[in-house]
Amino acid sequence: MNTFAGLSLHRPQGPLIMGIVNVTPDSFSDGGEAFAFDDALARAYRMLEDGADIIDIGGESTRPGAAKVSLEEEIRRTVPVVERLARDGAVVSIDTRHADVMQAALDAGASILNDVSALSGPGSLVVASCSNAAIVLMHMQGEPGTMQHNPTYVDAPGEVLVYLKSRVAACEAVGIARERIALDPGIGFGKTAAHNLQILKRLDLYRDLGLPLLLGVSRKSFIGQVTGEADSQHRLPGSLAAALWAVEQGAAIVRVHDVAETAQALKVWAAIKSA
């Protein structure tokens, strides 16, 4: 594949950068920082200036134990931000697992559906198939509220691969072209630190599907477990190390909180690669 959501996947500066804007009061790393409309826009515009190619807007925290959010509230949080950014020409992704929110965001100008449940929720495949949106299918074992209660695998990388293959097949069965799909193995979603490290080590498995790979490792708890850093906002070095490893293994998109720092790291990586 050469493009995703109209963006080139073959660039001298390396992979696409997806900047995270959580319009929530309770996300694991930045909850509350962009909850207000003006704060969310300010963060998004700063990320675009810093080198983000995509802005990913989420209105429901998927951290373990997060409070449930009504569909109406999720739409209220996200759609005005999506609409303003899309109007200003940004490529906007909606981070949701709910079909009604997907449709509202698409109507507001979103061009990517980023779903932690890989379009397995009621109505999600229908919404996606009736749109022209690009799609991110993510693996998650269990539900956000309980996913970290003893996640179990015999072969984490292999089982994630089988699941993602099945979701790609489900998309194709309703007429969604492979050219619209990217895959995310779901680091931190229903996985222990050991599972996350095993999956990262075997990212080559997912290249065989011939679809762009998106990696979201920014500030994740496994970095804290490896390094002993309890504060998620102090995990930038570990986040960059994991992102650069993923890029070296073929990741086409990195989803991050720290856009400027990631963009600089990728520029250096790309310069070394092409020297």
**pLDDT on residue 226:** 96
Strand arrangement, sheet containing 253-256: 181-184, 134-138, 112-115, 92-95, 54-58, 16-22, 253-256, 214-215
Q: Give the integer Cα–Cα distance in Å for 33 and 217.
A: 19
Whole-number pLDDT of residue 36: 82
Enumerate domains of the chain plus CATH numbers.
3-274 (3.20.20.20)
Helical ranges in 149-258 per DSSP H: 156-173, 193-201, 204-207, 221-227, 236-248
Residue 186: the pLDDT is: 96
Hunting for tokens 């994991």 — which residue is that?
242
Residues assigned a catalytic role: 220, 255
pLDDT tens across the length of the chain (275 residues): 899 999 999 988 889 999 999 998 754 444 445 568 888 999 999 999 999 999 999 999 877 666 778 999 999 999 999 999 999 999 999 999 999 999 999 999 999 999 999 999 999 999 999 999 999 999 998 676 666 677 789 999 999 999 999 999 999 999 999 999 999 999 999 999 999 999 999 999 998 899 999 999 999 999 999 999 999 999 999 999 999 999 999 999 999 999 999 999 999 999 999 99
